Structure 1
């Protein structure tokens, strides 16, 4: 059985919005990430999926403490990241890296590729100048670029090439965990598969662990081992990918997967159309966050928030249809 590399427990990230109405101040809170818990095993690719604005990117950045979480614990490689001082956290940064969504804005336009890749090595005191040059030469080859690219600037590359540079930078410190924050969503479809295949090859070569954040379900199915589905800052379902795609349990997951195009015209799939708009995270519904749009809503859903419960071995769902309560909230 694989060892757990990352354990996230009750992670929360709230943003306060102060407003004044007719002279009276009113405090509003946006619950971007609201009590999220999951674990990631060494060597696996764990997917976080959901609609835009569901909090998946905020969760990924909160785990790395690129933004400070409001509450919760993040155990990484035996260390509680949320309790570390800035100096202690910096020592852990070598083992945790991120690949950003936009490969252009994440690269310094004034720096050459050589300097972009060398900067994290200098910051963390890795090797001398010659050793750093040798490492950079290997990195640029590993991601499918050539040595002639090292003296160019980010604007001289295509989107796919820029993302390869971002991946090379993330690899430079030989991390254990990489958070890939929608790494292919800004790329052409023809380039997406190349970058996905590169990530898989690098995972096998370097023994990497990924948290793969995306909204494209076909990409997630291709690369991930397990998947967590998020809705309005909360995880509603976690399962191994094949089981999740074949037998989704949560009504939101079913609706999400029904929107995935089926390439075989002979296979007829039922399209689930959700009614209404996604509620504002500043005014999330009481009870189950999905109850305002759920086609299977019960009375209990409007008052009691369902817990993420293991309904089958390795399959967790936050839905009253599967948590052993009837419509009145009584145990059954």
Structure 2
């Protein structure tokens, strides 16, 4: 394993719930509630889970697009939560994001050249001629042509717009890219093209990815390690094949049982979860998953399990494995 690029410790984000005439706070949404994980240089860490589990919020916290409530984020051994806005702005050259909706994330009033040039202007990189040259180069790198620079976002298909979003993220030569469900809005045939492009770019530019998704088959294809999230917590982390071949947490087993297999003769046991995802404004006591778990014990209702290592590199937060 290479050296750590990003180390996250006890990361939390609680959003206040306010109402009434005076905007008084009467509750809290615990969107992210104590995440701890490490991302190593050159790897792809996949974050998976149901909608509303805190995946996208986590991605924004890592870039400080949301300010964390508590915790620590070490990027290259420096705690970026102590940085001033000016210093954080410089660090963002090394940390970029690819958003889920390729149309909403691109300014419809600007042509592609201006969209791609903007990160270079913000960070004071290159002369005007150098910036325009780099725009054309990056368009070709992501599979578009240099003449596309004068077109506007509405003139492209969804897959092409996502390629533009990827090109924009690469403009500043980042070390870390956070991809927030970058293929979920695309057709299946286009998804594979974009995934293959991301893998090629990772090798060419020595990139590190945090890949956020809810499609487990997509995550398996691209990720070296997988972290499974539930209600603001990570419940299992391991190498990709270990998670898919030997899932330990009951929630991970339920997610994997729902993945369709292209073989009509293969029969597998379907794990059906009880009830709906609890509200993050009123999470269950003890283990957050106990209200839907078929293997729930008394201790699960009282005591929150800690993430612990069972096998080499395989961590799980479940009382079934507590000594």
TM-score class normalised by the smaller sequence: over 0.9
- Aligned position for 2:182: 183
**For residues 174-228 of structure 1, what are the alpha-carbon distances to aligned partners after superposition, in whole Å with 9 as ceiling and x for unaligned?**
0000000000001111110000000000000000000000000000000000000
- Aligned position for 1:50: 49
Matched residues, number? 323
Distance 2:86 2:132 in 1: 27
Q: Give 3-state SS (helix, strand or coil) of 1:94's partner.
A: coil
- Aligned position for 2:251: 252
TM-score (norm 1): 0.95
Equivalences for residues 66-81 of structure 1 within 5 A: 66-81=65-80
- Aligned position for 2:119: 120
Distance 2:277 2:20 in 1: 25
Q: How far has the Cα of 1:259 moved from its partner?
A: 0.1
Deviates more, 1:129-138 or 1:203-212: 129-138
- Aligned position for 2:15: 15
Equivalences for residues 122-201 of structure 1 within 5 A: 122-201=121-200
Q: How far has the Cα of 1:75 moved from its partner?
A: 0.3
Distance 2:84 2:109 in 1: 31
Equivalences for residues 294-309 of structure 1 within 5 A: 294-309=293-308
Distance 1:39 1:320 in 2: 23
- Aligned position for 1:111: 110
Q: How far has the Cα of 1:135 moved from its partner?
A: 1.0
- Aligned position for 1:220: 219
Distance 1:132 1:177 in 2: 21
- Aligned position for 2:317: 318
Distance 1:63 1:256 in 2: 25
Preserved CA contact (<8 Å) 1:11 1:34:
yes
**For residues 20-44 of structure 1, what are the alpha-carbon distances to aligned partners after superposition, in whole Å with 9 as ceiling and x for unaligned?**
69x9x66211000000000000000
Distance 2:133 2:263 in 1: 48
**For residues 39-70 of structure 1, what are the alpha-carbon distances to aligned partners after superposition, in whole Å with 9 as ceiling and x for unaligned?**
00000000000000000000111011011111
Distance 1:113 1:19 in 2: 41
Q: Give 3-state SS (helix, strand or coil) of 1:304's partner.
A: coil
Distance 2:145 2:18 in 1: 51
- Aligned position for 2:27: 28
Preserved CA contact (<8 Å) 2:102 2:162:
yes
- Aligned position for 1:327: none
Distance 1:92 1:26 in 2: 34
Q: How far has the Cα of 1:19 moved from its partner?
A: 4.4
Gaps of 5+ in 2: none
Preserved CA contact (<8 Å) 1:98 1:179:
yes
Distance 1:109 1:20 in 2: 37
Q: 1:116 to 1:269 in 2, by over 3 A?
A: same
- Aligned position for 2:84: 85
